[in-house]
Amino acid sequence: MEYLSPYSEPSYGFCKTPFGECCMAFSNEGICALTFPENRQSALDDLERRFQGIDFVQNDEKVAQLIQQIFDKGKNPAIHLMGTPFQLSVWQALQKIPKGQTSTYALIAEAIGRPKAVRAVGTAIGANPIAYIIPCHRVIRTDGGLGGFRWGLECKKAILEWEKK
């Protein structure tokens, strides 16, 4: 369970992106979730599981504004990251991978000073709550295979191709 301050006015919404509809949750501190769910109910279930006891208010208009900043203007709004120290170190390393490039699970493990923690790095990447902005899609296997992606390999391929343009 992740924690949001009662003063953070938690909100969520849905919006179309170049990769299908997304669900975004945010607080005054920034974006705390960005997903590409199969459907809206699965997105709401994920928010309820991840942020137990938090009453989110739907705000599709604000989500549309944030999505426009991200995908049309190439800006990354503030994020409100919550995770274990290990997860945070992995997610920070992901943010250093340049747009249009990829890295490997092993290289991320090395970058955080834990070269033998490749599997744990993979688990942390899979738990990334903020898709695209924290670019877990840029991580591939050492053999060049795409590896996994929480929202499907077709979505991962589409994002990687889009970033190369």
User: Which residues does the annotation mark as catalytic?
Assistant: 136
* Assigned token pair, 142: 């050492």
Distance (Å, whole) CA 133 – CA 28 = 17
DSSP one-letter code for 119: H
Starting at the edge strand found earlier in the chain, the sheet holding 57-58 runs: 30-35, 20-27, 11-17, 57-58
Distance (Å, whole) CA 57 – CA 12 = 6
* H or E element at residue 31: strand 30-35
Q: What is the DSSP string of 68-110?
A: IIIIIS-----B-----HHHHHHHHHHTTSPTT--EEHHHHHH
Collect all residues with Cβ–Cβ distance below 8 Å to 160 and sequence separation of at least 6: 102, 137, 138
